[in-house]
Amino acid sequence: MSSLLNFILLDTAQVEEFTVLSLLEKGGYVMYPILFLFTVALFLFIERYLYIRKTSRIDENFLHNINELLLSGNIQGAVTYCKNSKFPIANLLERGLGRLGSPIRDIEDAIENKAKLEIYNMEKNLGILSSIARIAPMFGFLGTVTGMIRTFHNISTSNKIEISTIASGIYEKMVTSASGLIVGIIAYVMYTLLTTMIDRSINKMEIVAMDFIDLLHKPANKK
């Protein structure tokens, strides 16, 4: 009875020692670049998410206030209002207000060029995140190869096939493959989420730009 109890306690202790960290350690040296890629992907996602969310913000009364200033003929006040605004989309209107007096097409081009710059800033480093989504599974495949090499090396040196002989190589193969796929999937989901946020921001920019161009005609029509 005591022997059975000792066996159960020993088995329980072994199960408790089997943690995620201990499992990752069995992946070998290939786990280091995979973990590095995951860290970079997480950092880029958080940094880009906060920037894009800030860039896409806009006050619902913003265009109304611009309209009131333009109707009163206070163009400089509208420019100042855009400069003092905390919303990055105001930069588009500021560029357009700076072209007042020019043909509407020139104003539209000025706003469009500024919008392209804003979009470029939002998409900054997204290419790295997309690359991580593709590279991480490759490192997992590399771990599969090195794991099999380790397995055959252990068999050749011990001249026998036992669980203890092949376990380390199989662990390395499976852990690195799973880790690479998981990091790749997470990076791809992050990339997709950010690109979706950028598309929404671009849609907001287009709506604001069109509404602004419409506002430019109102003072003239009122006269």
Q: Please give the Cα distance from 187 to 138 (Å, whole number).
A: 14
pLDDT for res 100: 75
Q: Please give the Cα distance from 205 to 71 (Å, whole number).
A: 22
Q: Please give the Cα distance from 223 to 64 (Å, whole number).
A: 19
β-bridge partners, 100? 102
Average pLDDT, the chain: 76
- Work out the pLDDT band at 101, boundaries 50, 70, 90: confident
* pLDDT tens figures, 12-61: 444 445 565 655 566 667 788 889 999 999 999 999 999 888 887 776 67
Q: Locate 78 and state its tokens.
A: 């509208």
Kindly state the average pLDDT of the residues 92-97.
Answer: 79
Whether residue 79 has pLDDT greater than 50: yes
Q: Please give the Cα distance from 106 to 96 (Å, whole number).
A: 9
**Residue 34 burial class via C-beta count within 10 angstroms: exposed 0-12, middle 13-18, buried 19 and up:** buried
pLDDT for res 74: 75
β-bridge partners, 102? 100
Whether residue 172 has pLDDT greater than 70: no
Please check whether residue 14 is in contact with residue 159, taking contact to mean a CB–CB distance below 8 angstroms.
Answer: no
pLDDT for res 102: 75
Whether residue 168 has pLDDT greater than 80: no
Look at residues 113, 133, 151, 139 and name the one whose alpha carbon lies nearest to residue 192.
Answer: 133
* pLDDT tens figures, 107-166: 788 888 888 888 888 888 899 999 999 999 998 888 777 767 676 566 667 666 665 555
Residue 107: what residue type? I
**What percent of the chain is predicted at pLDDT more than 70?**
72
Kindly state the average pLDDT of the residues 7-12.
Answer: 42
pLDDT for res 126: 92
CA dihedral 58, 60, 64, 65 (to 10 degrees): -60
The lowest-confidence range among 22-31, 87-96, 100-109, 195-204 is 22-31
Q: What is the DSSP string of 136-161?
A: HHHHHHHHHHHHHHHHHHHHHHHTS-
Please check whether residue 49 is in contact with residue 195, taking contact to mean a CB–CB distance below 8 angstroms.
Answer: no
Q: Cα(first)–Cα(last) distance of the chain, in Å?
A: 102
Kindly state the average pLDDT of the residues 184-212.
Answer: 89
